[in-house]
Amino acid sequence: MPTEPRPASSQSHPWMALSAPGAIDDMLEYIGAPSVEALFEQIPADHFRKTPLDLPPALTSEVELKRDLVTRLKKNENCEDNLSFLGAGVWQHHVPAIVDEIVGRTEFATNVWGSYQSDHGRNQTWFEFSSQLGALLNLDVVQLPVYSWGCASGHAIRMAAKITGRKKVLIPQLSDPERMSVIRTYCQPQEMESAIEVVLVAADPTSGRLDLNDLKSKLGSDVAAVYFENPAYLGTIETGAAEIAKLARAVGAETIVGVDPISLGVMTAPGDYGADIVTGPVQPLGVHMHCGGGAGGYIASRDEEAYVRSYNGFLVSIAQTLEPGQHAFGLACPHQNSYGMREDGNDWTGNSTYLWAIAGAVYMSLLGPEGFAEVGRLIVSRARYAAKLLDAIPGVRVVWPDTQFKEFVVNFDDTGKSVAAINDSLREKGIFGGKDISGEGLGVGQSALYCVTEVHTAADIQRLSASMKEVLS
């Protein structure tokens, strides 16, 4: 015979020890308060809410809660069951299983701020993130990541404005509208007294690279920084990077480069071509796409005091302890951020994406120098192969072939079909086509930005090509 379930008041909620029977009463007795309500005496009666809470029914049982979550999430389609060529800010890269294990460790998932000693393992991991990324960038200072690449670039531009005392930044016209929207927020509406003016620099139409003549015409002693990305938003490799940095330096402007770190096994370290401040995404370093929640952005520079003193967030330095010969870790320049100086600190900081620094540390240690070289070669080969197969389809044209890293622009103007229609058809075949960039004001007609990485096999690419032919026929 089934037993009656115990009434809710006779057992605790699984997440609240003090909801066990009698626990509150014991405490009230010790406090000497007549009731729970009495403890809220500071709140005037007319402040209490009048409308009752109207939440969906509780799912206190994990059985029910899991069922609800999974049932809902299964209404998504995902990039494991489908073949996806979406990139543009988050990309489908392989996440080693060990990375998931380490970032899932409860100590790493739940910690907050202890002492330098009780946080030692985490702080060392953070230092190892910066150290390994610094080795890829050939730069000595790497800050813990901020919210995203766009946010990192926004902060970097503000750093440059602070360092130079100037209020204008030059940015390629062919930039990601998503990142640009964030950067413009950081640079402020022009009506604000402290606004940083954003001036766009044209692209060379034959290569997609920055038009150096247009750059020269816009560079002057009022420019705080030139910002460009390498590889750029549309996938192109900026071969003129050193020249751009030289031109910027000649007018006293900072060179800020956005760099996807997964390219750095095969591409020149930005520290070697004159970048002053480098930003980029951390998601390629072992973080799932998480529907965009994998975003995070690093900021790095040379180890010069003017730069170090202008960072907004957390810089982890190696240090000594009271025990001779022992090293540990702590925060350098802890008072220059908003925690230390409120409105007088550098920009602001707070909770960020520091778990992804841990993911990145594990990821980079697993790859090592050869892994980065290998994955870089694999990505660029397969991306070029995909571009070649697509370009061979009648009506389909790869804009700027043979210049890209992992992303490239595919133009469909001559097919008579819109990217939206093509992607709808591809989706029916289990393929997520590239991001539709037709409406982004980049002057590329009906085009999509395709992304190919180490997870795409030659067979996947052939499947894309065959499906594309069917869709366009």
Residues 5-24, interacting with other proteins (CB under 8 A): 8, 13-20, 23-24
Neighbouring CB atoms inside 10 A of 106's CB total 7
Least distance in angstroms from the C-beta of 2 to other proteins: 24
Please tell me whether residue 92 binds other proteins under the rule CB under 8 A. Answer: yes
Site for other proteins in 202-261 (CB under 8 A): 230, 237-242
Choice between 185 and 217, CB closer to other proteins: 185
CB-CB contact of 136 with 364 (8 Å) = yes
Sign of the dihedral through C-alpha 180, 352, 338, 133: negative
Tokens of 308: 């170090």
Using CB under 8 A, pick the residue from 251, 318, 421, 472 that binds other proteins. 318
Q: Rounded to the nearest 5°, which phi and psi values hold at 300?
A: -140, 160
430: Cβ contacts below 8 Å, ≥ 6 apart = 81, 82, 83
Least distance in angstroms from the C-beta of 169 to other proteins: 16
* Widest pairwise Cα distance in the chain: 88
Choice between 31 and 250, CB closer to other proteins: 31
Site for other proteins in 287-306 (CB under 8 A): 288-293, 295-296, 303, 305
Least distance in angstroms from the C-beta of 472 to other proteins: 19
Please tell me whether residue 331 binds other proteins under the rule CB under 8 A. Answer: yes
Site for other proteins in 110-129 (CB under 8 A): 110-122, 124-125, 127-128
Least distance in angstroms from the C-beta of 422 to other proteins: 12
Please tell me whether residue 34 binds other proteins under the rule CB under 8 A. Answer: no
Using CB under 8 A, pick the residue from 266, 391, 429, 472 that binds other proteins. 266
Using CB under 8 A, pick the residue from 251, 385, 421, 445 that binds other proteins. 385
CB-CB contact of 283 with 91 (8 Å) = yes
Least distance in angstroms from the C-beta of 216 to other proteins: 19
Pattern of binders to other proteins over 403-422, x per CB under 8 A? x-x-----------------
The CA-based dihedral angle spanning residues 230, 235, 236, 237, taken in that order and rounded to the nearest 10 degrees: 40
> How far is the C-alpha of 138 from the C-alpha of 168, rounded, in Å?
27
CB-CB contact of 312 with 349 (8 Å) = yes
Least distance in angstroms from the C-beta of 60 to other proteins: 6
Sign of the dihedral through C-alpha 59, 65, 67, 71: positive
Choice between 1 and 192, CB closer to other proteins: 192
Choice between 51 and 221, CB closer to other proteins: 51
Using CB under 8 A, pick the residue from 369, 394, 416, 443 that binds other proteins. 369
Using CB under 8 A, pick the residue from 199, 200, 251, 332 that binds other proteins. 332
Neighbouring CB atoms inside 10 A of 267's CB total 22
Please tell me whether residue 365 binds other proteins under the rule CB under 8 A. Answer: yes
DSSP symbol at 196: -
Choice between 6 and 342, CB closer to other proteins: 342
Using CB under 8 A, pick the residue from 7, 34, 62, 165 that binds other proteins. 62
Pick from 159, 273, 179, 197: nearest CA to 234: 179
Using CB under 8 A, pick the residue from 2, 81, 165, 473 that binds other proteins. 81
Using CB under 8 A, pick the residue from 4, 5, 42, 441 that binds other proteins. 42
SS3 assignment, position 39: helix
Neighbouring CB atoms inside 10 A of 80's CB total 9
Please tell me whether residue 108 binds other proteins under the rule CB under 8 A. Answer: yes
What length is written for the chain? 473
Site for other proteins in 139-168 (CB under 8 A): 139-144, 147-151, 158
Q: Which residues pair with 298 in a beta bridge?
A: 280
> How far is the C-alpha of 10 from the C-alpha of 150, rounded, in Å?
51
